[in-house]
Structures are given as structure tokens and as C-alpha cells.
Amino acid sequence: MPVVLYHFSPSPPSRVALTVAKALGIDVTVKIIDLFKNEHLQEEYLKINPEHTVPAMDDNGLILHDSHVIATYLVSRYGKDESLYPKDVKQRALVDQRLYFEATILLPRLRATTYPVFFLGKRNVDADARDAIYEALGNLEKYLEPTGWVAGDHATVADISCSVTVASLEAIGVDMSAYPKIRDWLKRCRSTFRGYEEANAEGEKLIGDGIKSLVGPKAYLR
């Protein structure tokens, strides 16, 4: 039975799981959970993920519902080699560190500005929430300095996790002009991971157009 991904394309973490699956060439069945129609709050989905977030994954009875865990599981289970999630303890610790950076800094800072707009009727972006995004990007720019990848000397799942969220920040109107290393890395991520555009093009457009239509195209500019 193919791996099932519960997915909603505007959601960056959901696209992280799909991007990893496509990069690995895994046969996945995608089931859409439309957050705008509250499908994530239906009884049936709550049985799969009581935390009602996307993505979730069902691999023949193993259910996981966090993009970082899904990403590292898929590489460990289906990767032809370990390069996307190295087994070396020190290399892996660095990859984990950047995955946690995405989980605890990048995504929450994006979400702090988009969730209230999409779901609570807010129609602006607070300056402090906007500045927190730029602070995180400043740190990411530094992480990219040594090798051009976020963890170690080659592309890993941490690059997928961070780049999908950063590309979404760009799509909603965050100004990337001060971050040349991020801009170069985003381009490399798009061309390095097989299926990246296929997994992300629609969702980037939906989140970008959606947010810009509700708060205006310049809401994230300083």
C-alpha cells in the first residue's frame, strides 16, 4: 500500500512532507484536507491527528503528524542512501538543529502573521511580528555562510524544510533583497530536489496571492 499524505498545498509544512516524498521518488497517495473548509476539524481526520494539523502521514498503519518527523522517517525508511539525513552523529545533530530552527522559529514566525489573516479576520501585519521574520532570516543568512547549505556541506532534509517555508515568506511579500545567500540557496534548492516545483508551485501561489489580497502587497515591507 502506498504511503498516504494528508495534505493542503498552501501549508508550508504540508509541502515539506510532499517535497521530501517526491525527492525520494516515493509513490504517495495524496488526500486533501482543506483547512479553509474546516476539514481538519472533522471527526475522521481527528482520529488520524488529534492536533488537527497538516501534514499527517499513514505508512501502512504508522501515523505521524509533524513535517520534520515525516521528513526524517521517509528518508530513513525509503532513502537509497543517507545523504538527505546523514547517519554520522555530528552531521545528523546539525541537520536536527536546523529542523528545530524551522519548527520553532521560522514556521511559527510565518504562522504568527498568516494564521490571524486567514482564520481570524485580521487585515494587517504587526510590525513586531514582521520584524521577527527578518531577524530569523538574518540568522539563516549566517547559517548558509560556510557551505551554502543549512547543515553541513551538502543538501539535506533541513534544506527542504527551511527552504519551503522561506519560499512561502517570499511569496507573501517578505523582502529578500538583503539576503543574497538565501536567494542563491533558494534557487539551488529548487533545482537540486527532484519534484520541488511540482510539490510547491500551487501552494506558494495560493498562500502568496491569498495573503497579498487580504493585507496588501506591501504589508511585509519595512
- Asked if 52 interacts with ligand GSH (CB under 6 A), we say yes
- Asked if 53 interacts with ligand GSH (CB under 6 A), we say yes
CB 53 within 8 Å of CB 65: yes
Nearer to ligand GSH, 5 or 94 (CB): 5
Catalytic residue numbers read 11
Nearer to ligand GSH, 119 or 187 (CB): 119
Indicate the burial class of 175 (C-beta count within 10 angstroms; 0-12, 13-18, 19 or more).
Answer: middle
All three cell numbers of 93, joined, read: 545533530
* The one segment of 62-70, 79-87, 92-100, 169-177 that binds ligand GSH by CB under 6 A: 62-70
Task: Provide, rounded to whole angstroms, the least separation between the CB of residue 12 and ligand GSH.
Answer: 6
The contact pattern for ligand GSH, residues 97-136, with x = CB under 6 A and - = no contact, is ------x---------------------------------
Distance CA 156, CA 81 (A): 12
Which residues are at the interface with ligand GSH (CB under 6 A)? 11-13, 35, 40, 52-55, 66-68, 103
